[in-house]
Amino acid sequence: MSQKLIMKPASAKPLFSLNMPGVDELFPGFALGDFAVLYGSPSVISVTSLLCVRAQLPVQLGGLGSNVVFIDGGNTFRLYKISRLAQLHLLNPREVLERIFISRAFTAYQLTSLILDKMEETIRNYNAKLVVISDIAGFFLDSDIPNEEAQSVYSQVVSYLSNFAKKHQIIIIATYLPYSDNKRSNLLQEVTCNRASTVLSFSQTPYTREVTLEKHPSYVLGNSELPSENLTLTDFMGV
């Protein structure tokens, strides 16, 4: 498959783009220092796979020229999808996977430790400008964790992420996966979005797919329709 690439001059503040038709006009890209949240449909998992690959592209192609740290809170890392996306971007799949450093958590306490205690050392060791945190709230919805404790620790985690991204001038992207409508999930989602600098929601019906820019410090908020008709993410990527 051929790939159409438009070289862009490097700037002091490069944007990390999704390179998706219909989305780039609405949301040109993430900036260093952003703490972003993607939520809505399970398609956000595919979006983070795309970002893991695009982060390794040079800045002139909308990437970061960087390694990636992937903190997997929901067992959502998709090796095959990463390999396929690497091929679509004319990159070596093995080399792409070798530049994604995965840390897996299996409890809320492990996820908290990976973020609060180990993330700074991790990004320094791997020289990463992108951190992806998948299913950031999932473990905190465990009924074995008291409500007050879950809310307190989770608030500390997302506040830390927001400050960390600014301090270290990296991009942190967290996914908030859909869960049944309950008070704790709604509260944690609100806390996450309040602390984020950028919020993108993805939704789909049997007839349409949409992405909505719900929060950003400077871009005009709005939504954009994506192709549907059973198309996959790679079908409507601008590659």
134 domain-assigned: yes
Let me know: does 157 contact 115? Beta carbons within 8 Å: yes
126 domain-assigned: yes
211 domain-assigned: yes
133 domain-assigned: yes
106 domain-assigned: yes
Let me know: does 202 contact 3? Beta carbons within 8 Å: no
Q: Which two tokens stand for residue 173?
A: 């992207």
pLDDT in tens, the chain (239 residues): 334 444 444 445 779 999 887 788 899 999 999 999 999 988 899 899 999 999 999 998 889 999 999 999 988 999 999 999 999 999 999 999 999 999 999 999 999 999 999 999 999 999 999 999 999 999 999 999 999 999 999 999 999 999 999 999 999 999 999 887 788 999 999 999 999 999 999 987 777 788 999 999 999 999 998 654 344 444 434 44
Q: What is the CATH number of the domain that holds 117?
A: 3.40.50.300
3 domain-assigned: no
Distance CA 30, CA 166 (A): 13
8 domain-assigned: no
Strand partners, 67: 128
Distance CA 51, CA 80 (A): 15
Three-state SS sequence of 101-144: EEEECCCHHHHHHHHHCCHHHHHHHHCEEEEEEECCCHHHHCCC
- 22-42 per-residue burial string, b: 16 or more CB within 10 A, e: under 16: bbbebbebbbbbbbbbbbbbe
Q: How many residues does the chain have?
A: 239
1 domain-assigned: no
Give the DSSP letter string of 54-75: HTTS-GGGTS---EEEEEESSS
The domain in which residue 173 lies consists of 15-235
> Residue 92 — φ and ψ, nearest 5°?
-75, 115
Number of domains in the chain: 1
